[in-house]
Each structure stands twice: as structure tokens, then as C-alpha cells.
Chain A
């Protein structure tokens, strides 16, 4: 094969202007490691693209207006009814634009998937410690996208102006109104006066189709740029170190796989849009502030906020001519933002506790950092309890329980559940670590029983492969942060001693009970001991025959 030093015509035209060879050289064969858990972010990205495509289709017919019209479309059950143009045009998209219902349903399913994928992606980051230096910024960017995605979905849900979406807005309006001092003002500015008014659809629309997608797009770009710049993390394994990245080249394998995966995700959302009904707004009717549908449920990602206000006991204070609605201030305005902030800042909290300032490109297995894993499970449990609270009525009716009991149970579970979850997950991780250690030091149980000349019975163990042994041990030694000497060489007391002490204590707690990987010496000792006791043997033909004898006997 001869090497070309010149591009063919059209490519040359581009290169003369852009110098594509310079950019391409570095990136065309860029390496991406392969693992199923790395696809979660891709799903989020692809559903965002699907949202832009289907959303743009919808904008061609959707009329973001609350002007009242009489419906004259082809859905006979609502014919002649007064409704907003927004709702009427949503009905038109559904019944009179061919493929309109399909696009609406794909749009909605992709929205649900978008947020779900981002959340699971975030959990993957959390449990593998992918957020550690140098990737803290990408963690925050990801959080920003998740936050905006949820707001975006909520605004979209409000656009059709059907009974369900109006009810959701009414609830939000009531929550905003509970904010001390500024509540009523915020509401009047957002809704252009009293609820519902005739402004919000037009306002929400422009935020929904331009402002937030624009910001998300910018964040996606930054996010992907950083992934390329830092290079992808990888799981530890033979030949996969902190200093390299092993995987398939961008061109062709990764392009084919990732590109193909885009079509798979699009195909699946299209099939869902074709076959699975979602948000059948025509069944709900136009918004009417004096009506509500029973058992109304918001999209799944709003469930935890809903649950939070559902299970909080109702009390408010009245004094000095003001009202403080604790039943909303705490569960809607304090708890969710505080929880989100805590999770968002977790990388910095963990970094401070462990004092770890090094770069990490190898992912942790969740079991290898039991405390972090426990904290993650506590976060999930907290979220899950609130989420279940969002459906407390469904649970009560389905399982024939009293709503009162379900609510009281959840009030406790939301606090005790995370503690229990933390403890169980941490213990579980530690026992998995012990099992690993066991495999490493004593090999695999073969089920073969040996009798020594003295008549002692032992089980034969087979050592695991060097590759596996390396993978198990390719992780950090966990060393708690130390406070250092009380005074420095010059006898000056170290400043902020109490803080450092607290930090050291936290750090000890963080690493407490985690199984330390063995040292070279420990491994050698274990193997020698095994040989003495005849525990570890390569399985030879002899042992095979022996196995038959033993299994006959048993």
C-alpha cells in the first residue's frame, strides 16, 4: 500500500481551509474502553438528540397560546368545547397530523428515558468513584444537566394545557407561594398575575424549546470535550493502568458501536412511541381549575418531590402577621435542594475527608470502597422512600392498607431506611472484599477432598489466574488521613487542630473495616502455607481420577 501525501480533491478543499489532518490525526484512532456501564451516558446523549428532533417536529404545529378557542377538530368527544389554543393544537397534533401522535409519544418517552439514563449514569459515576480528580467538574456539569433536564421535562408536561398538566402547575404554584417573603411575587411574575392567567404556556414554551435545550447543549459539549480531554476512565485489569487507556479505536469500531447504539436507542423509543400510550391528554380534557382527576400521577422523576410533600405532617406558624408554611417550606423548599446539593458536592466532601489529591483514572469496584458504597445506597434509599411516598395512595389501595399507616411508615422509613441501607451495603461490600481476599490467598475451592498420609482431610484449592489475581489487587491501599504532629519542628502549634482531628476521625471511619489488599509477602506466605498443607495444587490427571473416586464415595 502506498501512502498518500495528498488528499483527494474535495477533502483537499476542506483541508486547505481547516487543516483537518492535524485535528483528525490525534482523534481518529482515539481509544475508548468498552464496558456496558459506559453506555448509560450514551443513552442520555442519544435521547437528548431524539428530543430535539421530535420536539422540533412538534413546534411546527403546536400553538403556544392560551387564547380560548372552540375545538372543531376530529376528536368528536371534545368537539365544541372551549379550550386553550395550546390544548386544541395538541389535539390536532394527536388526531389530525399524520405521525403527530407518534412524535408526541416518542418525545415523551424519550424525555422519561433521558432523565432515567442521566440518573443511572450518575449512579455509575458515584459507585465507581469516577468523580474523583480530575473529573470533579464533569460531575458538576452532569448534575447541571440532570437538574435542567428535570425542569425541562416539567415545563414540557405543562405545555399541552390539559387537566393533568394544569394540576401539576397548580401544585407548583402553591409550593412557590409558600416561599417566605418572595413567594407571591415570584408567582405573579412567573404566571403574569394570578394562577392560571393566560401567559404561562407562551413563557414556558420559549424556555422549553430554546433556553434550556440551548444551555443543555452547551453543557453536553463541555461534558464531551472533557471526556475526550481526560480520556475515559477504565476498570483496573491486566495491562490497564493509571497511565494508559485500553480499548477500541474511535474509527472504526467505536464509531460503529456507538453510532449503531444511537439507532438502537432511537429505534426502541420509536417502537415505544408506536405501541405504548403515554400522556393521553385527550382523555383528561382541557384544564379547569375547579376539577381534578383522581389518582393523578406526575412523570416519574417528579415523584420524590411529590412524596416529600405528601408525607410531611401539616403544620404552619402564624405570628407577627405572617404565615410560615412549614408543611411546604421544609419538604419542598429545603429538603430537596439540600439533598441535591449534598450529592452534587459529594466529590469534594469525600476528597476532603480522605485527603486524596491524586489523579484517578482507574475505577473503583463498589466493594473496594465500602463506606462510599454505603453512602450511595443511603442516598438511593432516601430518594426511593420519598418516591414511594409520591404513590402512597396507590400503595394503600393496591395492598389494602390504610393510607395513614403507609404515611406513618414512610415518615420513619425516610430517616431509618438510609441508615439501614448504609449499614447493610457497607457490610455487604466488606464481605465481598473478604471473599476476594480468600480467592486471592487460598485459591478456588475445587470440591476435591484429599486425605493426607496421616489421615487428615483437606479440600484441594486451585490458585486463580495471575490475570484475575492482578485485577483483584490493582487498587489503592486505603490509608486514613492523619493529623500530623501537634507542633511543627519549630514548636509552633499546628492551626485548626480541632478541625483536623475531626477530619482524621472521619477519615478513619471512612476506611474502617475495609479489607486491605495483601502485601507481596502475605501472598507468598499464604501460598507457601497452602503448599505445606497440600491445599493448593494444580489439578493434574491424578487429581481428576481422585475426584471421581471421592464423588463416588460421597
Chain B
């Protein structure tokens, strides 16, 4: 900013803008007395009001203590649109109102009764005065001189080196936060011959169990036993192995080359884990064969290799090749041919 255009020349960078132009500062507006300043009766009324609020607050706090013991913890309060646990609601109401009254009382006190004349205080620039700067520079120089920090470069550099390298163990020590990814994301517990089971009943599924238009949430038969063994392995396995099995009229299916024998009479199986960021997809629309992910609305066409028809996902849902075992149940021909779930850098 070119300085000579300013209303007042700033002496230096710290110059404070002055704005008393074009109209000179008339000074603070005169103080208007409040009714409580003039009328002692009004002041007394205000006092009663404030202490009334504080008094009521005291009663409410006591009320909350009584409610804590008096109201059974499972009783339900139904009051118009308000319904919920009575114990919580009454305690909360009492404490909430009490706090509010204490606050409102204090503010009212300040507004009505405390002296309300504004006062003014000078500001001082944030920066130090030239003299302070001179003094501290001098003191610092002296200290630096005495340490020889500037002269003895070898000490200085080796110290900087030693301190810098300290960051290394700080990072390395975090190494055991987790295992390396390895091939974990490429595999699921699906494998050749594993039965497809209903994920609620755990019962294996026969092709005849499914009518055209039906969609079933399913899981591999080897998942349920994991739960007893290791709950966290179970969750991790489930997060990748969840599938949907759907039956579509064969004439409506457009099969991708190479997948001709992946379905059984129009029964197809896809990963349930959205290829966007991994929510389980859920909403199926029979007529269009579209399945929608509720998280960001990616939509996949199950009749067309689950390709993305809408939304932010970039890849089709991986398909699991199906077969029927000797007892007539649906099984996997193999595991998935690609990693399931969201993309990752080294995925290829």
C-alpha cells in the first residue's frame, strides 16, 4: 500500500491506521441511565427477580437429587412428543433449568444492577520497543558468545545431527502398530467347494430355494465356525466374504465373456462389499436388477456383471463363480478372481 495515500502516515511497518477523517471523532456517546439507575423501586424489583432465579435454581438442583433416587431407572415418560427414560429426563430437566437460571440470573444482575458505564483502556502495539529489542539482542549475543555455539561449528553440527536422528526411533517404534498388508486384501475365505449359506440361518442354499427376482444375503459356510474360535478374525473375514446371491431370468442376463459357466440357471453371486469405500450394499430393485449402496448411492446392474450404472464407485462388484455340489447345494467354483472391496494402490 503506498503510504502517502493513507490518511495518516504510518511511521513504520507497525503504523496503526487512523481513521478520524473526514469527520472528527466526537468521543463516546453520553451514557444513558437505566430505569434501575433512577428508580430505586425498579432496582429492588430487579434484585428480587435475580435472587428469585437463583432461589429457583437451588430448588431445581435439589429436585434433580430427589429424582435420581425416586424415579425407577426403567420408567418411561410419555408426554406428547416427548417420550423417553423418565429418570434421565427429569434429572436433565431439573439440572438444565437450574444451570440456565443461574446463568440468566447472573446476566440479568450485570445488565440491570451493576454499573454499566463503559470504560476505555489504551492499546499498546504488539511489538517490542526499540530499547527492549536492543537489550534482548545484546543479552542473546552475550549468551551465544559465551556458549561458543557460533564459533564451534563442529559441536553445533553434531548436536543438530544427533537431535535430528532422534526422530527415527520415534517413527520406527511405531512399526508394530500393525502387520504389513502383504496379500491380506487379495484373499477371502472363499475357496473351491465352499458352500454358500444364508447369512441369517446359516443353512446351505439350493438353486430351487431361489425364485426369479429373489436376492439373498449369504456367506461362506466356513465363516460361522470362526466366530467361536476368534471373534476378530471372524469380523475381518466377514468384512470381505459377504456376498449376495440373486436369481435373474436367464434371458435378461448379459454374460461377460469368460463367465458363461459362473451362474446356475440365472443364479449369480457377487461380493456384497461396495467397490467404492466398502459399505455393504443393500437395496435391490427387482425390475431393473439394480442394487444400490446406501452410503454414496453407487448403483450396480446385477444382470450385467454388476457394472456401475450410477454413483461414485469405479469398478463392478467382483463376481464369485458358482457351481452345485453332489448334494445339490450351491458352492463356489473358486475364490474371487480379484480383490473385493475398495480399490488400493498396489491392486493393479
Q: A interface vs B, CB < 8 Å?
A: 29-31, 34, 66-68, 74, 82, 95-96, 98-102, 105-106, 134, 167, 170-171, 173-175, 177-185, 187-199, 229-231, 236, 238-249, 252-253, 256-257, 259-275, 277, 287-296, 306, 309-316, 318, 321-328, 331, 354-362, 392-393, 403-404, 407, 466-467, 469-470, 473-477, 479, 481-482, 484, 517-523
Contact = CB atoms under 8 A, between A and B. Distances in A.
A188 B122 CA distance: 57
Contacts of A324: 345
A170 B106 CA distance: 47
Contact of B120 (A31, A99, A198, A261): A31
Contacts of B348: 318, 321-323
Interface string B296-321: 11100000000010111111000000
By size class, the interface of chain B is 35 or more
Interface string B17-34: 111111111111100000
A473 B22 contact: yes
The 9 closest A-B pairs by CB, nearest first: A274-B92, A174-B277, A267-B100, A263-B103, A260-B106, A239-B28, A270-B96, A267-B99, A264-B103
B1 interface: yes
B225 interface: no
A245 B120 contact: yes
A191 B185 CA distance: 14
B166 interface: no
Nearest to A260: B106
Interface stretch (B4-12, B142-150, B326-334): B4-12
Given A194-B239, A327-B313, A261 B107 contact: yes
B335 to A, nearest CB: 16
Nearest to B10: A358
B28 A246 contact: yes
A290 B277 contact: no
Given A256-B107, A314-B312, A327-B313, A473 B23 contact: yes
26 contacts: A98-B68, A171-B278, A177-B343, A184-B345, A195-B236, A195-B239, A195-B278, A197-B232, A242-B19, A243-B16, A243-B123, A252-B114, A257-B106, A292-B294, A310-B296, A313-B312, A314-B314, A321-B346, A325-B314, A358-B16, A361-B123, A470-B24, A473-B23, A475-B19, A477-B5, A520-B22
A239 B20 CA distance: 10
Contacts of A289: 235, 238-239, 242, 280
B15 interface: yes
B99 A266 contact: yes
Given A192-B178, A476-B7, 4 more contacts: A174-B278, A260-B110, A273-B92, A292-B279
A174 B341 contact: yes
B22 A292 contact: no
Contacts of A271: 92-93, 96-97, 100
Given A192-B177, A358-B14, A274 B96 contact: yes
Contact of B123 (A183, A244, A290, A309): A244
B59 interface: no
B17 A466 contact: no
Contact of B29 (A238, A294, A517): A238
A398 B180 CA distance: 45
From A30, A95, A183, residue with most partner B Cβ within 10 Å:
A183
Interface stretch (B37-45, B82-90, B205-213): B82-90
A411 to B, nearest CB: 11
Nearest to A404: B310
Contact of A167 (B119, B177, B231, B295): B295
Contacts of A392: 297
A393 B105 CA distance: 45
A116 B88 CA distance: 26
Contacts of B28: 238-240, 246
Interface in B177-221: 177-181, 184-185, 199, 217, 219
B171 to A, nearest CB: 11
A314 B311 contact: yes
A190 B123 CA distance: 49
A173 B217 CA distance: 23
Contacts of B238: 288-290
B122 to A, nearest CB: 6
